[in-house]
Amino acid sequence: MLSERETRIIQESYARIYENADKFSENFYMNLFEIAPDLRPLFAADIKKQGRKFIEILSIIILDLRDKKLIVPMIADMGRRHVKYGTERDHYQIVGQALIQTLDETFENKWSSTEKQLWIRLYNFVADIMIEASNYDDVS
């Protein structure tokens, strides 16, 4: 998915967020619910715990990017669980937008367009596996 060099760039980029993970996830959900207030009721009232889980899973994926055999089944399982949370296919694009916006605000002008493109690719990689595993096309 990403080359060695690209993996290193995104890991370094991620380390900068991790220094301030709580603030980052708080801003992420603030942005998400500003873009799509109708998604708020899907989440528990206490969004702090949720934010930690989101950051934790991102770190696992980013640290293990080279080990597809490990991360792909884990991401697919996560996608299947999301169907039960009420997540729909179209929500993935909105969550991706909130993530990129939050990264933009966090790094201000201190991130390159290369870095931004890598984050978009990483998010799409994860979202595509989750969507695929969710079988949204099946008539149930």
What residues make contact with ligand HEM under the rule CB under 6 A? Answer: 39, 42-44, 50, 53-54, 57, 78, 81-82, 85, 87, 91-92, 95, 123, 126-127, 130
Taking the complex as a whole, the smallest distance from the CB of residue 109 to ligand HEM amounts, in Å, to 25
Nearer to ligand HEM, 7 or 108 (CB): 7
Nearer to ligand HEM, 52 or 110 (CB): 52
Nearer to ligand HEM, 23 or 40 (CB): 40
**Tokens representing 106?**
């966090």
CA–CA gap between residue 125 and residue 4 (Å, rounded): 16
Taking the complex as a whole, the smallest distance from the CB of residue 80 to ligand HEM amounts, in Å, to 9
Nearer to ligand HEM, 9 or 57 (CB): 57
Taking the complex as a whole, the smallest distance from the CB of residue 42 to ligand HEM amounts, in Å, to 4
